[in-house]
Amino acid sequence: MDANERDDKSWARDAAELEEQWRQRAAAEVAWWERRSAGQHDEVLRQQNLMYGGLIAIGVVLVQPFLTAPPGTLDLTAMICVIALSVAIPILAALVVLNSQETYRRRPTPSRFVHVARALALGAGFTGVVTGFWHITPFAGVGALAAAALALAVQSAGYVRVEREAAKATPEQQDQDTPDS
């Protein structure tokens, strides 16, 4: 066996060890997040209700001027806004009621139908808001779209940071085992 062959085998072994370490680290991080999120159901429901209520409120405000518009006078963005919010508002209202039931029973629904309805309602609500602002002026629509992307990034980064710091501050050993420690 020559030196090049040994180096190739050594490199392959080292690469396999590193890959295994990263897999273990990823599995540990997934397990850590699952432990952290298990007790946060009530907080998730409160945040969802805040999003649902906000979308319902802004949807009602955005749709009001279109209710008095003569038939056939709405342009494309106004029509998309009205249709999207007409789909979103009733589903969002039903989700607020469902969240109340989930809070009362202290358990989330495992229904895939509900998960699809949540995604549809949030997507339609977001579409309605963006197209409503776009109807006012395209700059406002682009601004709403960019601001939503930035808001999602801020909320995600803040959530991760707060949860990691909370995990380090709690006395329970299972929560102190953060994935980056």
In this model, does residue 28 exceed pLDDT 80?
yes
In tens, the pLDDT along 61-116 reads 999 998 888 888 889 999 999 999 999 999 999 999 998 888 888 778 888 999 99
Q: Where are the domains of the chain?
A: 41-176
The runs of H, that is alpha helices, within 39-106 are: 41-67, 76-105
Closest to 140 (Cα-Cα) out of 50, 36, 58: 58
pLDDT value at residue 176: 46
Closest to 125 (Cα-Cα) out of 51, 14, 20, 43: 51
Under DSSP, the state recorded for 96 is H
Q: Distance (Å, rounded) from C-alpha 147 to C-alpha 58?
A: 16
Q: Average pLDDT of the chain?
A: 85
